[in-house]
Structure 1
Amino acid sequence: MRIAFLTAPQGVEQIELTDPWQAVTDAGHEPVLVSTRPGHIQAFHHLDKADTFPVDDVVGEVPVESFDGLVLPGGVANPDFLRMEDKAVAFVQDFFEQGRPVAAICHAPWTLVEADVVRGRVLTSWPSLRKDIQNAGGTWIDEQVKVCDHGPNKLITSRRPDDLKAFCEAFLDVFTEEAA
């Protein structure tokens, strides 16, 4: 399986990128870093700069069909930057339109709200997104991981870095099931 990890050029919470990336690699699958610009992305540990990572593909130049699933890491700034990029929002919408599974953690559902894909779905996130999700027609719950299969695809969401183990297990199970 090829799994896209969509991030902005800066602002992604490093552990929310690296732990799922490692889980995909350990499962024998191929993680692919997709961003809005070529080069490298700048990760963060909360508000402090962390490591940089090389971009594999640029959104708008790589078709959704080349991936089996999409992971949206969080960080406060990452989804805020992504939701302002039309090509990134369209990339997310295409996953939903094509029925491909999507996983999002922490603040990443902001991008889902902008893509208008939470309506009628039950999901979780960082608690401060509760009203945004509700205003977009979704139902917010406070659970470690939520798998929602409303609509043509499955959406896996999680709240925070402390939930990463459960998040990785859940999205890998769903992605593997959907690819079979």
Structure 2
Amino acid sequence: MSKKVGFLVASEGIEQVELTDPWKAVTDAGHEAVLISPESGEVQMFNHLDKGDTKKVDVTVGDANLEDYDALVLPGGVANPDALRTEKDAVSFVREFVASGRPVAAICHAPWTLVEADVLKGRRITSWPSLQTDIRNAGGEWVDEELVIDGNLITSRNPDDLPKFCGAVVEALEHGSAATV
């Protein structure tokens, strides 16, 4: 059965491979991927600090209905989650999605949005190493591992971890849990 996955990003600063690889994994597995952003139009992806491709926004976060999605993916890049965590609608959407119990996957710098959503108390996650103090200050346990699954949260550190990260997202869609990855 096909599932719908929201990919929530800011208007720019998205690490391209952290959006395109999970997107491809989801769609290759027969599921629908939807790009959600605070503003309509296109988003600008980056390959580290160099501009990459653009991608059309499917729905603004203000118009997105939480109940329409089976999972949420938060790609990284430094500027993307830093901007996203200042968007009230985006932070609320993430907070409500985590509370729903459905899978939420965040890679690299994306857990900054989870910090802002105040959903990390007592949760074990990983991220880009520079976020560890923010995660601990938000009540989370930061670990340096390729893939960490804690309940409905799926997290990875960086683009090198994408194969495991993508596999966990697809596993969660197909079996309701990524714990068996």
User: What TM-score results when the alignment is normalised by the length of structure 1?
Assistant: 0.95
Local SS of the residue matching 1:41: strand
* Distance in 1 separating the partners of 2:169 and 2:140: 20
2:37 aligns to what?
35
Q: Hey, what does 1:164 align to over in structure 2?
A: 162
In structure 1, how many angstroms separate the alpha carbons of the residues matched to 2:25 and 2:172?
13
Equivalence for 2:176 = 178
Give the drift of 1:27: 0.2
Give 1:95's aligned residue: 97
**Distance in 2, Cα, partners of 1:17 & 1:126:** 16
Q: TM-score, normalised by structure 2?
A: 0.95
Q: Which runs of 4+ in 1 moved over 2 A?
A: none
SS at match of 2:134: helix
For structure 1, which runs of at least 5 residues remain unmatched after alignment? none
AA partner of residue 10 (structure 1): E
Give the superposition deviation at 1:176. 2.0
Corresponding letter in the other structure for 1:176: E
Distance between the aligned counterparts of 2:132 and 2:98, measured in 1? 21
For structure 2, list consecutive stretches of 5 or more residues without a partner in the other structure.
Answer: none
- Give the secondary-structure state (helix, strand or coil) at the position aligned to 1:70: strand
Q: Distance in 1 between matches of 2:91 and 2:6?
A: 14
Q: Between Structure 1 and Structure 2, how many residues are aligned?
A: 175
Paired residue type of 1:117: V
Of 137, 140, 162, which aligns to 1:138?
Answer: 140
Opposite residue 43 of structure 1, the aligned amino acid is M
SS in 1 for 2:109: coil
Identify which of 123, 126, 136 aligns with 2:125: 123
Residue by residue over 1:119-144, the C-alpha shift from the partner in whole angstroms, topping out at 9 and shown as x without a partner, is 10000000000100000000000000
Asked if 1:3 corresponds to 2:5, the answer is: yes
SS at match of 1:128: helix
Q: CA RMSD in A?
A: 0.9
The alpha carbon displacement at 1:175 in A equals 2.5
Q: Greater CA deviation, 128-137 or 92-101?
A: 92-101
